[in-house]
Amino acid sequence: MVLLFLSLVMCSTVMAQTPGTVIKGTVTDDKGVTLPGATVSVKGAPVRTITDINGKYSINVPPGGKTLVFTFIGMDTQEVLIGTKTTINVALQLSSTALTDVVVIGYGEQKRGDVNGAIASVSAKDIAEIPQPSIDQMLQGKAAGVTVTQNSGGPGSATSVHIRGISSFTGSEPLYVIDGVAIEGNSQGGVQLTRPGGGQEETTVSPLAQLNPNDIESIDVLKDASATAIYGSRASNGVVIITTKKGKNGSAKIDYDFWYGLQSQGKFLKVMNLPQYATLENSLADDFGVGRRIEFSDPSILGPGTNWQNAIFQTAPEQSHTLSISGGKDNTDYYISAGYFNQDGTIVGFSFNRYTFHATVNSQVKDWFKVGTSFSANQSNESVGEGNSTGVIYNALLAAPDAAVYNADGTYAAPFTPPGGLPEGGPNPVQQALNITNTLLRSNVQGSLYGDIKFTKDLTLHSEADGNFDWSNAKTFLPTYSYGATGSVPAFQNQQAVLNEYNASDNYWNWVEHLNYNHTFGKKNVVTALVGHEVWESTYDGIQATTKGFTAGNTLQTLNLGTQTTDNLGEPKGSTSMESYLARVIYTYDDKYSLTATDRRDQSSNFAPGHQIGYFPGVAVSWRISQEPFMASINQTINNLKLRVGYGTVGNSNIQQYAYGSAITPVTTGLGTGFSFANFNNPNVTWETDIQKNIGLDFSILNNRIDGSIDAFDKTSKNFLFQQPLPAFLGGGTGEYSSAGVVQPPYVNAGEIQNKGIEFSITSRNIQDKDFKWSTTLIFSHYTNTVLSLNGFPAIIGSVNSGGGAIIPVTRTAVGGPVGEFYGYKIQGIVSTQAELENLATHPQNVTGSPSVVTSDRTVANGVYLGDLEYQGNNNGAPNTQYALGNPNPDFTYSITNTFNYQDFDLSIFLTGSYGGKILNALDFQLEALDGLYSNQLAAAGNYWTPSNPNSTIPAPRATFGNNNTVMSDRFLESASFLRLQNIRLGYNLPARYAKYIKMNTVKLFVSGQNLYVFTKYSGLDPEVGSFNQNPTLMNVDNGRYPIPRVITFGLNAQF
């Protein structure tokens, strides 16, 4: 795009000089905004001019000139017959064909129509006015083959982006390249949240949360290996290239973009109110043989109790401001912007804010030399509550309705505590959310600087240095506290405050040089070639410090105020480096046949000498069928038809530094520093290789009214890198949630995972009237994920921590099935007759590890009694058969966008959906467990099986956690299918003629509703849960995940 623009600038020096008719006029866009720099030429004559700063032009038309041609980048070229007119004003329309858009392909760019690989692009206008805080979230439903799920609805939280399925266990997030700066999507290095204690919580952070989406010009997703091979070993999960905005020639523009939104929780779970809870507690007490609580003797007289969901969820505001100034003059263009974003969480205690600064300058210094820079500085501040199974939502759902949030005196309340006993319920979730400090302050500076030297018309050298520098300060402060119900001893008390800080710095730099050659031989042979060299290094270093015992109180939370004898220090530190050589040739014949061939050689420090080097070739060919003579007769119907075929290999080296050897890690012991043998080594560990095949068809039909692409792919990763799970008897294993001292299993190259799929995107311009336009875009993606081999290793088990402490195996990744397939028992039914019970007495179940016995004592964990679950495949007391219970991957995902324009109004309706996957409602391990006192349950659980309620599908209460009824079974699986009304937006463009009165070029107002409704059968809070800590074996496990809020937004975009 820059090159085209420059050529325009240079052409402007050729002024029309021949005397003739003078035609004047103004060129505007379809909104009436004047267009400076538009080219006006006379058809068939070497005369051209460009419009001035106000969009005005004046051209001398030589005798014989009959037609004026108006062109402007991104707009349809328009021809106007001169006739007798002397003033010709035109309004150019936005390009209706995507063929001329520029696509960034990695170390270069290409016109969309010339691309041979599978690349999906999203431009600024596709995501404009979608009030999302982060770019990855905006990609959702916008590009075929890209599955985007928010791992949490919390402010600033990480998102999972999977391109064409999951092909690796070491992270399946793509590589992001932002103006040349590569950022690994898989969280690594230093920046992460700290945690106050044990438990399973999200600690990964979003690599993109710090960018202001308003600064983005385009996003190009390189999907197949023929496109990504140029990124070699960094591209196994695809590449997302993000290009920021640049200034355009002409007068400076000032843009102000603002939106304000109100977020709220759209769905609540029906848990028991106090009378229901009291009734349940009474019957549980009877069942478990403990006394009833006196205060519950008559549940009917009790009030509704505390609604804990109301106590933790809130309506929360968010707002975004971006001010940008851009323009260009004298061969220099610039874009500078500043942004502020602030978001409170819909759960108390969560918030996120961000300041962003961005600048881009490009200058053609000499006719042979161009330089440019892009630079961002951002800071974000994130505050989180505790998450998932130890977190606020989890505790709020289980919190007993007889406990208050606050005591009458304003202090935090807690469940009643019998003297010397345990409190009759869990901690106060509101106290947890508000009292504990858990923050992450991140500062980031990112920049690139390049110079282009043009040796000849055809040969250019591009040199570029990029850097990305992150500093973060994660901090957890657990204050002293003491709280309890009025009249009982404090249930929860802490006299020792604890501060944990983690200051990390991550530094990344790369340097790339490439020579580019571009020449047309004869008239039809176009060759573009590139050879290059790149080197990068990524280092991280952090200081981890803990101290305790703040005699000065809870207000000042700094390390120097703790008791020094309690200090504990750590310093995570490491680095990775890579050197690469790259080459690419693109050859096109007659605009019909095209070939792209690439190769890359990578050398990575993550492997032992002798295993460091890998080669990653790729090739793609295309045939533009519509250019063939035999298509000429129908080229009004079929405007463009192009067939693409690609093949390539890419790799993955994303493992821990020095995983090939064995480290000796320092560990604190009572005898001084101890040294722990850290891991099994594997000196032979090397590249993972992904082989990808792609066939695609691009088309435009019916006078470009309908265009689209269809791609089918086969992506197979071989010898993938993963940490081979080992049984605990070889290297030890996690005990009481601590894995300190465990000898970690080795990283190995093993197995084969295949993703096959089909995806398409179609845009139809249904109505193209002057006043009314309607277009529809449909995006569809389907893939099947299959593990072809684990190299003889047994299945990989994924486990969740289901609160209360139990670690429950829930997924199993085995040959023939998908990654992270749910696995467990299948329910036959409820044991509801004496005959069934007697059958079980002779055929004992064995789902908890010891064969069940028929008993009348309901406190026996492996006993079976009327009202218990019976599982399928009971085989005489041997372990019962476990089954693959379902696939977390959807059968397909889809999105539909309808856009309507009527005069100055536009309306878009955007729906996204997912069909066919399963979701594990892991909250129900507790919420419907009926296995203990003092925790609330779903209201529906009260309808459990009793002899007088024989048709219930909910088993009768059983004491003890992990009893027969709460093992992993299809009871907890639900359909994850959903259709989300993701966004409805109504915009109004103040007509330019009015905008002028307030000295503005454009004024746009919009109102938008996001996540307005979710059509789903899922009974939990939100059917879209992503992967836990980006772990592919724990997809679609809802363990108290922060649900995505509903947001109503009002926005304004003004251009001066």
Partner 1 sequence: MKKHIKYLIGIGAMIGVATTGCKKDFFNRPPANESTVGTYYQTTPEVQASTNILYAAPWFGFNGKAFLATSELLSGNARCYVGTDPEFGAYSNYTEGNATPVVTSTWNSLYTVIAQANALLNNLPTAAPASVPASVVNNALGEAHLMRAAAYFYLVRIFGNVPIITNPTAFVGTFQTVPTNPVTDIYKFMIIDLQFAEANCTPGVASTGHVSSASASGLLAKVYLYEQDYMDAKKEAEKVINSGEFGLLGVDIAGLTYNNLFQIQYNNNKESMIAMQWSSNAGYGFGNQIQSVVALNSTITGTGDGYAELGPTFDLQDAFKAAGDKVRLHGTIMLPGDVYPEIDKATGGYTVPLNASAQGTASGVKKYVVGTPADNNNETAFQATSGNTYIMRYADVYLIEAEAILGLSANPGQGHGIDTNATSSDPTALKYINLVRQRAGLTAKTSFSYRDLIKERRLEFALEGDYWYDLQRIDGFNSSTHPTAEAIIGTENKGDSYGATAPTYTNYTVNHTYIIPTDAQFIIPIPITDVEADPNLVKPPVKYNFN
- Residue 571 is given by DSSP the state -
Among 288, 340, 587, 988, binds partner 1 (CB under 8 A): 288
Cα 490 to Cα 488: distance, rounded to the nearest angstrom? 6
Cα 660 to Cα 607: distance, rounded to the nearest angstrom? 6
CB closer to partner 1, 526 vs 530? 530
Q: Which residues contact 864 (CB under 8 A, 6 or more apart)?
A: 831, 837, 840, 844, 845, 852, 853, 854, 855, 870, 964
Least separation in angstroms between CB 154 and partner 1? 24
The one segment of 37-45, 158-166, 392-400, 719-727 that binds partner 1 by CB under 8 A: 719-727
| 657 scored as a contact of partner 1 (CB under 8 A) | yes
Cα 1039 to Cα 800: distance, rounded to the nearest angstrom? 8
Burial profile 282-314: b = 16 or more Cβ within 10 angstroms, e = fewer: bbbeebbeeeebeebeebeebeebbbbbebbbb
Least separation in angstroms between CB 955 and partner 1? 15
Distance of CA 515 to the CA centre of its chain: 34
Least separation in angstroms between CB 418 and partner 1? 8
Alpha carbon separation from 756 to 160, 494, 782, 976 (Å, rounded):
20, 54, 8, 21
CB closer to partner 1, 589 vs 961? 961
Find tokens 């290059």 and name the residue: 532
Q: Which residues contact 239 (CB under 8 A, 6 or more apart)?
A: 106, 174, 175, 176, 177, 221, 222, 227, 228, 231
- x-marked contacts with partner 1 along 963-1002 as a string, rule CB under 8 A: ----x-----------------------------------
Cα 713 to Cα 397: distance, rounded to the nearest angstrom? 43
| 729 scored as a contact of partner 1 (CB under 8 A) | yes
CB closer to partner 1, 499 vs 1054? 499
- The burial class, CB within 10 Å (0-12 / 13-18 / 19+), for 741 is middle
CB closer to partner 1, 4 vs 807? 807
Cα 241 to Cα 182: distance, rounded to the nearest angstrom? 9
- x-marked contacts with partner 1 along 418-457 as a string, rule CB under 8 A: xxxxx------------------------------xxx--
Least separation in angstroms between CB 496 and partner 1? 5
Give me the half-sphere count of Cα atoms (radius 13 Å) on the Cβ side of residue 576. Answer: 21
| 605 scored as a contact of partner 1 (CB under 8 A) | yes
Strands 492-494 and 883-886: unpaired
CB closer to partner 1, 324 vs 476? 476
Least separation in angstroms between CB 531 and partner 1? 10
CB closer to partner 1, 268 vs 368? 368
Least separation in angstroms between CB 390 and partner 1? 12
Q: Measuring CA to CA, which residue among 872, 864, 875, 873 is closest to residue 841?
A: 864
Least separation in angstroms between CB 745 and partner 1? 8
| 849 scored as a contact of partner 1 (CB under 8 A) | yes
The one segment of 287-295, 837-845, 897-905, 975-983 that binds partner 1 by CB under 8 A: 287-295
Among 97, 282, 463, 789, binds partner 1 (CB under 8 A): 463
Site for partner 1 in 746-805 (CB under 8 A): 746, 792, 794-795, 797, 799, 804-805
Cα 421 to Cα 404: distance, rounded to the nearest angstrom? 19
The 3-class SS string of 680-708 reads CCCCCCCCEEEEEEEEEEEEEECCCCEEE
How many residues lie near partner 1 (CB under 8 A)?
128
Site for partner 1 in 485-504 (CB under 8 A): 489-490, 492-496, 498
Cα 545 to Cα 437: distance, rounded to the nearest angstrom? 16
Cα 202 to Cα 188: distance, rounded to the nearest angstrom? 14
Cα 335 to Cα 382: distance, rounded to the nearest angstrom? 28
- x-marked contacts with partner 1 along 232-271 as a string, rule CB under 8 A: ----------------------------------------
Burial profile 989-1016: b = 16 or more Cβ within 10 angstroms, e = fewer: bbebeebeeeebbbbbebebbbbeebeb
- The burial class, CB within 10 Å (0-12 / 13-18 / 19+), for 630 is exposed
Positive or negative, the CA dihedral 929, 930, 931, 936 is: positive
Tallying the residues shown for the chain, one arrives at 1056
Site for partner 1 in 611-630 (CB under 8 A): 612
Site for partner 1 in 49-108 (CB under 8 A): none
Helix or strand run (H / E) with residue 875: none
CB closer to partner 1, 210 vs 388? 388
The one segment of 240-248, 401-409, 726-734, 988-996 that binds partner 1 by CB under 8 A: 726-734
Range list of β-strands (E), 384-524: 437-454, 459-478, 481-483, 492-494, 498-521
Among 63, 555, 672, 856, binds partner 1 (CB under 8 A): 672
Least separation in angstroms between CB 603 and partner 1? 6
Least separation in angstroms between CB 618 and partner 1? 23
The one segment of 78-86, 217-225, 383-391, 535-543 that binds partner 1 by CB under 8 A: 535-543
Among 54, 734, 875, 953, binds partner 1 (CB under 8 A): 734
- The burial class, CB within 10 Å (0-12 / 13-18 / 19+), for 913 is buried
The 3-class SS string of 140-157 reads CCCCCCEEEEECCCCCCC
Least separation in angstroms between CB 732 and partner 1? 3
- x-marked contacts with partner 1 along 803-842 as a string, rule CB under 8 A: -xxxx-x---------------------------------
Cα 259 to Cα 1048: distance, rounded to the nearest angstrom? 10
- x-marked contacts with partner 1 along 870-909 as a string, rule CB under 8 A: ----------------------------------------
Among 740, 788, 841, 998, binds partner 1 (CB under 8 A): 740
Among 62, 108, 299, 731, binds partner 1 (CB under 8 A): 731
CB closer to partner 1, 74 vs 809? 809
CB closer to partner 1, 63 vs 419? 419
Among 35, 230, 742, 1025, binds partner 1 (CB under 8 A): 742
| 40 scored as a contact of partner 1 (CB under 8 A) | no
Site for partner 1 in 181-220 (CB under 8 A): 197-198
Site for partner 1 in 558-577 (CB under 8 A): 563, 565-568, 571-577
Least separation in angstroms between CB 570 and partner 1? 8
Q: Measuring CA to CA, which residue among 829, 819, 836, 808 is closest to residue 968?
A: 808
Among 84, 87, 300, 673, binds partner 1 (CB under 8 A): 673
CB closer to partner 1, 487 vs 670? 670
Q: Measuring CA to CA, which residue among 541, 429, 549, 413 is closest to residue 477?
A: 549
Measure the CA angle with vertex 709, ends 705 and 711; round to 5°: 165
The one segment of 68-76, 182-190, 348-356, 727-735 that binds partner 1 by CB under 8 A: 727-735
Site for partner 1 in 574-593 (CB under 8 A): 574-577, 579
Site for partner 1 in 919-948 (CB under 8 A): 931-934
Find tokens 């190299």 and name the residue: 791
Cα 899 to Cα 94: distance, rounded to the nearest angstrom? 15
Q: Measuring CA to CA, which residue among 968, 979, 871 is closest to residue 920?
A: 968
Site for partner 1 in 678-717 (CB under 8 A): 678, 680-681
Contact by Cβ (8 Å): 175, 220: no
Among 668, 876, 903, 953, binds partner 1 (CB under 8 A): 668
Among 861, 884, 1005, 1052, binds partner 1 (CB under 8 A): 861
